[in-house]
Amino acid sequence: MLLEAANVRYRRRRLRTSLHISRLVLTDFRGIDQLTLGFSSRQTTVLVGTNGSGKTTLLDAEVLLLSRLQAGILEEKRPPRGFTDADIMNGRLSSSIEITADLGGDSVTWSLLHERGGEMPERNEERLLALDEQVVRIRAEIARGDVCLPVAVYYPVNRAVLDIPLRIRTRHPFDPLEAYDGALAGGRSNFRLFFEWFRNREDLENERRIQYSQHRDHQLEAVRRAIHSIVPEFSNLRVQRSPIGMVVTKGEWTLYVDQLSQGEKCLLAMVGDLARRLAMANPFADDPLQGGGVVLVDELELHLHPGWQRRIVPALERTFPNCQFLVTTHSPAVLGHVEHDAVIILKLEGTGVRVDRPDTSKGMDVNRILEDLLDVPARPEEFQVKLDELHRRIDEGDTVAACALHTELSATLSRTDPALVKAEVLLHRREAARR
Asked if 97 contacts 37 with a C-beta cutoff of 8 angstroms, the reply is no
> What's the confidence (pLDDT) of residue 188?
60
Asked if 383 contacts 409 with a C-beta cutoff of 8 angstroms, the reply is yes
User: What are the residues facing 316 on neighbouring strands?
Assistant: none
Percent of the chain with pLDDT over 70: 90
Exposure class string for 98-128: b at 16+ Cβ within 10 A, else e: bbbbbbbeeebebbbbbbeeeeeeebbeebb
Distance CA 307, CA 328 (A): 18
- Mean pLDDT along residues 301-314: 94
Asked if 198 contacts 271 with a C-beta cutoff of 8 angstroms, the reply is no
Per-residue pLDDT tens digits for 252-306: 999 998 899 989 998 999 999 999 999 999 998 889 999 999 999 999 999 999 9
Tell me the average pLDDT of the chain.
87
> What's the confidence (pLDDT) of residue 170?
58
> What's the confidence (pLDDT) of residue 166?
59
> What's the confidence (pLDDT) of residue 411?
87
- Mean pLDDT along residues 87-107: 94
Distance CA 429, CA 423 (A): 10
Per-residue pLDDT tens digits for 162-200: 566 656 555 656 688 999 998 998 766 567 788 888 888
- Mean pLDDT along residues 380-386: 87
Is 13's pLDDT higher than 70?
no
Distance CA 266, CA 32 (A): 31
Is 1's pLDDT higher than 50?
no
Distance CA 242, CA 244 (A): 5
Distance CA 139, CA 180 (A): 14
Asked if 323 contacts 42 with a C-beta cutoff of 8 angstroms, the reply is no
> What's the confidence (pLDDT) of residue 151?
96
- Mean pLDDT along residues 26-42: 94
Report CA-CA distances (Å) from 347 to 38, 149, 253, 366, 425: 16, 36, 46, 20, 39
Distance CA 276, CA 198 (A): 8
Lowest mean pLDDT, pick from 213-217, 285-289, 360-364: 213-217
Distance CA 264, CA 253 (A): 15
Confidence of residue 14 (pLDDT cuts 50, 70, 90): very low
Confidence of residue 3 (pLDDT cuts 50, 70, 90): very low
Confidence of residue 46 (pLDDT cuts 50, 70, 90): very high
> What's the confidence (pLDDT) of residue 9?
43
Lowest mean pLDDT, pick from 13-22, 136-145, 263-272, 383-392: 13-22
**Nearest C-alpha neighbor of 313 from the set 291, 335, 289:** 335
**Nearest C-alpha neighbor of 115 from the set 28, 34, 56:** 28
Distance CA 268, CA 289 (A): 15
Is 336's pLDDT higher than 50?
yes
Is 5's pLDDT higher than 70?
no
Distance CA 161, CA 271 (A): 13
Is 6's pLDDT higher than 60?
no
- Mean pLDDT along residues 107-134: 86
What global pTM score does this model have? Answer: 0.86
Q: Which of 95-109, 229-243, 364-378 is the most confident on average? A: 95-109
Residues with Cβ within 8 Å of residue 79, at least 6 apart in sequence: 71
Percent of the chain with pLDDT over 90: 52
Determine phi and psi for 37, rounding to 5 degrees: -125, 120
User: What are the residues facing 151 on neighbouring strands?
Assistant: 293
- Mean pLDDT along residues 58-85: 90
Is 239's pLDDT higher than 70?
yes
